[in-house]
Amino acid sequence: MVSKSTSPKRKKKKKGHEEHEEHANHERWLVSYADMLTLLFVLFVVLFSMSTVDNKKFSALADGLAQGFGSPTVAFQGKQGSMEGKGEATTMLPLNPGANPNLGAADAAKQTRLSKEVAAALAKLDRAKASADAQAAVREVKNLREIQKRITAALVKAKMTKDVSFTINERGLVVTVVSSDVVFAGDRADLRPGGVKIIDAVAPSLITLPNDIAVDGHTNQLNVPTIIYPSAWELSTARASVVVRELASQGVPAKRLTASGYAGTRPLIDPKDPSSITKNRRVDVVILSTLSAEQRELLPTIAAADQTAGQTAGQKTADHTDHE
């Protein structure tokens, strides 16, 4: 009987304990919610404090910047109010760096004199650079002319001068080999005996040069379908590659050689000229200049002046001989 009376009480106590625990578990979310509200409050307080501008401190900062830049009106002046975007009482710094409106007449004159001296020095540097570039271009034209003379002498010895011409442009010395039947057959990229003779005469003058060599292949403007090659692009590139291979076989370092094909996109003379059919069909062997881009731009002008001066001197010599 004792055991039966005590058993229900124990079960009832246990049930109340479980109800208490279950109720406590349901209210734990309030702790997280309170933490979240606290963090949001702190966040808004920080944002509010950051958005508040201290006008006195801002004015002190503006005055400090003004003194540092040598002008009392660097930024905002006038009333010490918040920045409302009205842009009132603002001034701009003068364009002349270092100018100070508080300078006296003597100081202003001294500053003007210094500015003129600086401008004169810069102009002198520009003139010195231009003079140095011109002198370098003159020396380069002289060197390229010497290479041209050596190549010409070899071509004269090989009796192949009529198929080769020379030009100096912003790239360097251009040795143009006309791709007539002497050099290449139509729609072919195989060097004929005459073409081999020309390239072998040009090669010895290129072996010891420090310059890179670019070989450009060109076809004429006639829209004639090719048979062996898909188009004029492949044909012009193949001809340039064959010339590169021949130069390399004669001792010109392969690392200094490049081959490019341009089809008929870069004619030498006007396609309306009847002679363009043969003259635009060519291979250019270009001895590339080692000068800077600014100096290379001067090469055509100096070369033209040098050629004119040479022709004038030659004409005077001929006239003097005839007179005698």
- Domain ranges within the chain, ordered by starting residue: 37-97, 136-323
Q: Are 263 and 280 in contact (CB under 8 A)?
A: no
pLDDT of residue 151: 97
Helix 299-323 and helix 105-158, axial crossing angle in degrees, nearest 10: 60
For 162-211, how does the pLDDT look when each residue is reduced to its tens digit (9 = 90+)?
A: 989 999 999 999 999 988 778 888 888 999 999 999 999 999 999 999 99
Which backbone phi and psi does 259 adopt, to 5 degrees? -125, 135
User: What DSSP letter does each residue of 170-227 carry, written as one string?
Assistant: TTEEEEEEE-STTT--TT--SPPHHHHHHHHHHTHHHHT-SS-EEEEEE--S--PPPS
Task: Give the pLDDT mean for 229-242.
Answer: 94
Share of the chain above pLDDT 90, in %: 41
pTM value > 0.75: no
Residue 73 has pLDDT above 80, yes or no: no
Task: Name every residue whose Cβ is closer than 8 Å to that of residue 114 and which is 6 or more positions away in sequence.
Answer: none
- CA neighbor of 92 nearest in space, from 77, 112, 104, 109: 77
User: What DSSP letter does each residue of 76-129 carry, written as one string?
Assistant: B-SS-----S---SB----SSTT--TT--HHHHHHHHHHHHHHHHHHHHHHHHH
Task: Give the pLDDT mean for 102-127.
Answer: 68
pLDDT band at 105 (very low <50, low <70, confident <90, very high): low
Residue 43 has pLDDT above 70, yes or no: yes
pLDDT of residue 111: 66
Tell me the C-alpha distance between 166 and 310, whole Å. 15
Residue 6 has pLDDT above 60, yes or no: no
Which backbone phi and psi does 219 adopt, to 5 degrees? -110, 170
Q: Are 218 and 266 in contact (CB under 8 A)?
A: yes
- CA neighbor of 141 nearest in space, from 175, 165, 166, 173: 173
Residue 296, Cα to own-chain centre: how many angstroms? 16
User: 5-19, 99-113, 304-318 — which is least confidently predicted?
Assistant: 5-19
User: 43-52, 88-97, 213-222, 263-272 — which is least confidently predicted?
Assistant: 88-97
Instruction: Please tell me the total number of residues recorded for the chain in this structure.
Output: 324
CATH code of the domain occupying 136-323 = 3.30.1330.60
Tell me the C-alpha distance between 79 and 55, whole Å. 10
Task: Give the pLDDT mean for 26-39.
Answer: 79
pLDDT of residue 321: 46
Tell me the C-alpha distance between 251 and 229, whole Å. 29
